[in-house]
Amino acid sequence: MTKKALVTGITGQDGAYLAELLLDKGYEVHGLARRSSTSDVNLTRLEWLGIERDVRIVDGDLLDLSGLLRTMRDIAPDEVYNLAAQSFVKSSWQQPILTGQVTGIGVANVLEAVRLQKPDARFYQASSSEMYGLIQEPMQSETTPFYPRSPYAVAKLYGHWLTVNYRESFGLHASSGILFNHESPLRGIEFVTRKVTDGVARIKLGQAKELRLGNIDAKRDWGHSKDYVRAMWLMVQQDEADDYVVATGRTTTVREMCRLAFEHVGLNIDDHLVIDAELFRPAEVEVLLGNPQKAREKFGWEPKISLEDMIVEMVEADLKRLEK
C-alpha cells in the first residue's frame, strides 16, 4: 500500500524539498499550511520544484489542537514530519511569546494529535543547532549540553525535549534531527545566506551597490537542504527512534561565505560589503560545528553537496530571478 506522510511547514524550504523526496519515493504527501484572510497559501517553493499539483494541501495551524486532531484522524498518516515553526532567529526577540507558542507549544499539539489519533505513526521533529548556543564543546554532538541564546532556541529546546519525553513516556516512534544550518535557492530572503546571494546578484546586475551585514565573523556549519531532508527520512525509517545531529562537520565564517559568492560573479568583497552595527544580534552564537558521526554510523548519511557548490547554485538562482 502507498505510504502517507503529513508534513507541517510544507511551504517552507525544507518542507518543499522533503515533499519532493517523498513523492519520488511514491508517498501520498499531505501538507499542513496556515491560511490567512489576506492571501492564499503561498506555494511558491512547491511551484519552483514543479510539485504543487502533486501535494495535497490541508488547512491547519500548529496552535489549533482540535484541527490537528481532525487532520490526523482523517489522513491517518504513516509518517508525520513537524517542520513548521517561527524560524527566523532575529524575529524571536521581537516576538518571543509567538515564537514560544508556535515553535514550542506547537510541537506539543502535534505530538498530542499523533498520540491520540495515530500512535503508530512515525514522528520527526525539526530540532536546531541553535539550541547549543553558547557552545559547551568545540564540536557539538547528541550528548553536548545545550545553552540556547535566543527565544527561538529556547522554544526549539522545549520541542526537542518534549519529543524525547513522548518517546519515553508513550512509546511513540518519535525522533529529532538536530539540524545545523542548511540552505538552498529556496531559503527565505531574511536568512543570511540568501541575503548574501541575493545582494551579490543585485550588485552584479547593477541594481545595488552595497551589501549590509552584521557579525560576519560568526562561524556556521552550512549544508544543503536537499541533503538534510534525506537525513530526516532516513532517521524515520530506523527500527528504533532516536535523536541525530545532521551537519557537515565543517565550519565557515559568514565573511568566507560572502567571499565565495562575490568571487563567483567576479567581484571584490571589499568593494561592496558594509558592516552595520544595527544588524548584530542581542546575544550572538559565535561558532557552530556539528559532529554527524552517529548519523553516518547508524544509517550511512553523508552530505553530497559542498558549501562552494551550494553558494554557486544560490547565486545563479538569484541572478535568474532578478533578471526576470
- The answer as to whether 301 is a domain residue is no
Count of beta carbons in the 10 Å neighbourhood of residue 314? 25
SS3 letters across 95-139:
CHHHHHHHHHHHHHHHHHHHHHHCCCCEEEEEEEHHHCCCCCCCC
Cell triple for residue 194? 540568501
CA distance 129 to 58: 29
CATH number at residue 94: 3.40.50.720
Residue 296 lies inside a defined structural domain of this protein: no
pLDDT score of 74: 98
Say what the pLDDT of residue 260 is. Answer: 98
What's this model's pTM, rounded to 2 decimal places?
A: 0.95
Query: CATH number of the domain that 216 lies in?
Result: 3.90.25.10
d(CA 41, CA 14): 16
Measured distance CA(96)–CA(104) in Å, rounded: 11
Kindly report the number of other CB atoms within 10 A of residue 286's CB atom: 13
Quick check: helix, strand or coil at residue 301?
coil
CB atoms within 10 A of CB 73: 12
CA distance 108 to 102: 10
In three-state secondary structure terms, 32 is strand
CB 290 within 8 A of CB 228: no
Do 16 and 147 belong together in one domain?
yes
Q: Are residues 172 and 280 located together in one domain of the fold?
A: no
Question: Measured on CA atoms in the order 28, 33, 35, 41, is the torsion positive or negative?
Answer: negative
114 and 229 part of one domain: yes
Rounded to 5°, the CA angle 78-79-84 comes to: 145
**pLDDT tens, residue by residue, 116-143:** 999 999 999 999 999 999 999 999 999 9
Same domain, 170 and 260: no
Q: What is the dihedral of CA 103, 107, 110, 112, to 10 degrees?
A: -140
Task: State whether residue 55 is helix, strand or coil.
Answer: coil
Residue 34 confidence (pLDDT): 86
297 within a domain of the structure (yes/no): no
Claim to verify: residue 175 and residue 194 sit in the same structural domain? no
Mean pLDDT by 10 residues, the chain (324 residues): 96 98 98 77 94 97 97 98 88 92 98 98 97 96 97 97 98 98 95 96 97 94 98 98 98 97 98 91 86 98 98 98 93
State which amino acid sits at residue 246: V
Provide the number of structural domains found in the chain. 2
Print the SS3 string covering 223-283.
EEHHHHHHHHHHHHCCCCCCEEEECCCCCEEHHHHHHHHHHHCCCCHHHCEEECHHHCCCC
Cα–Cα dist 150/89, whole Å: 7
Please check whether residue 301 is in contact with residue 249, taking contact to mean a CB–CB distance below 8 angstroms. no
Whether 9 and 43 map to the same domain: the answer is yes
Q: Please give the residue range of the domain that contains residue 254.
A: 189-220+250-287+306-323
In whole angstroms, what is the distance from residue 174 CA to residue 168 CA? 9
Q: Specify whether 135 is located in the same domain as 215.
A: no
Same domain, 163 and 198: no
